[in-house]
């Protein structure tokens, strides 16, 4: 995962001129992980993936298949049985690409809706657990397939803050998130104040130029659940789906 290179981080930004590449390399994973936790996306979302596959649940009478990350290109959508044997092929049929639409039309609004829609509106996907396999490239990226500039800018600010924290100590940490718990979306602000995360500007780092930007990239919650497993994660014909609730 490399949302930001050291060259891009340092070029033209005097405020980070004292940060070495070694320090940058140490802080980048921390800052990137914090962005993903706050926005609710899995690791690696803010870069364009290589070709990968995911198994998706389809709800009864549903028009949508919810993906774990935003689809950028879909090379294949297949109706499958994830309980295949040597005599039964996993892929039952390939879905005609004229009968579905990945949500990739607008940036950043549609990137938050990580779904594939049946087309036309009267069409429905077949119900079933892990009943569809989608293959393609994924990522919350800009129109050129790059990490959004807004995310890169937030990374610069976070890395600067993380480096400064080592010298500023408790005074810097006042008002900054020191704990983050994803199960019930709670966090703890330095100084002992706790609250429920609402991802409103000024409630996380206390910096509107960070919190306000990340609010724009927050993961939208679909109705229902999605199986988010790659083929490599399948351990056998009876293994249950690893479901991710949004």
Q: Considering the domain boundaries, does residue 1 fall inside one?
A: no
Based on the fold, state whether residues 224 and 122 are members of the same structural domain.
yes
Q: What is the pLDDT of residue 227?
A: 45
Over range 195-220, report the average pLDDT. 69
* Residues 6+ positions from 90 with CB-CB distance below 8 Å: 80, 81, 82, 84, 133
Based on the fold, state whether residues 105 and 154 are members of the same structural domain.
no
Q: What is the pLDDT of residue 233?
A: 43
Q: Considering the domain boundaries, does residue 117 fall inside one?
A: yes
Q: Considering the domain boundaries, does residue 45 fall inside one?
A: no
Higher pLDDT, residue 243 or 186: 186
Based on the fold, state whether residues 137 and 64 are members of the same structural domain.
yes
Nearest to 205 by CA among 133, 138, 157: 157
Residues 64, 69, 73, 74, CA torsion sign: negative
Q: Which residues partner with 77 through β-bridges?
A: 134
Is 70 exceeded by the pLDDT of residue 195?
Answer: no
Q: Considering the domain boundaries, does residue 155 fall inside one?
A: yes
Q: Considering the domain boundaries, does residue 46 fall inside one?
A: no
Structural domain total, the chain? 2
Tokens of 106: 């607008």
For 45-60, what is each residue's pLDDT tens digit?
999 999 999 999 888 7
Nearest to 3 by CA among 168, 146, 214, 200: 146
Is 80 exceeded by the pLDDT of residue 246?
Answer: no
Is 90 exceeded by the pLDDT of residue 43?
Answer: yes
Count of beta carbons in the 10 Å neighbourhood of residue 133: 22
For 128-158, what is each residue's pLDDT tens digit?
888 899 999 999 999 899 999 999 999 999 9
Range of the domain at 138: 52-144+219-245
User: Mapping DSSP to helix (H, G, I), strand (E, B) and coil, where does residue 66 land?
Assistant: strand
User: Rounded to whole angstroms, how far apart are CA atoms 126 and 156?
Assistant: 45
Report pTM. 0.73
Q: Phi, psi (5° rounding) for residue 5?
A: -90, 160
User: Mapping DSSP to helix (H, G, I), strand (E, B) and coil, where does residue 158 land?
Assistant: helix
Based on the fold, state whether residues 140 and 83 are members of the same structural domain.
yes
């Amino acid at each position: 995962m490399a949302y930001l290179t050291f060259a891009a981080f340092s070029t033209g930004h005097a405020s980070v001129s004292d940060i070495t590449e070694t320090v940058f390399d140490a802080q980048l994973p921390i800052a990137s992980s914090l962005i993903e936790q706050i926005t609710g996306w899995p690791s690696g979302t803010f870069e364009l993936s290589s070709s990968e596959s995911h198994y998706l649940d389809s709800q009864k009478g549903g028009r949508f298949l919810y993906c774990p990350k935003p689809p950028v290109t879909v090379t294949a959508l297949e109706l499958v049985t994830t309980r295949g044997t040597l005599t039964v092929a996993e892929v039952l049929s390939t879905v005609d690409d004229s009968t579905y639409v990945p949500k990739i039309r607008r940036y950043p609004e549609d990137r938050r809706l990580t779904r594939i829609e049946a087309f036309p509106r009267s069409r429905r996907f077949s119900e079933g657990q892990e009943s569809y396999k989608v293959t393609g490239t994924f990522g919350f990226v800009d129109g050129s397939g790059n990490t959004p500039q807004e995310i890169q800018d937030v990374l610069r600010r976070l890395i600067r803050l993380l480096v400064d924290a080592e010298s500023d100590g408790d005074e810097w940490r006042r008002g900054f998130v020191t704990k983050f718990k994803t199960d019930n979306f709670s966090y703890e602000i330095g100084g002992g104040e706790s609250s429920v995360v609402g991802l409103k500007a000024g409630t996380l780092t206390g910096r509107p130029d960070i919190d306000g930007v990340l609010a724009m990239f927050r993961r939208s919650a679909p109705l229902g659940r999605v199986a988010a497993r790659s083929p490599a994660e399948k351990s056998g014909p009876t293994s249950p789906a690893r479901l991710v609730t949004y």
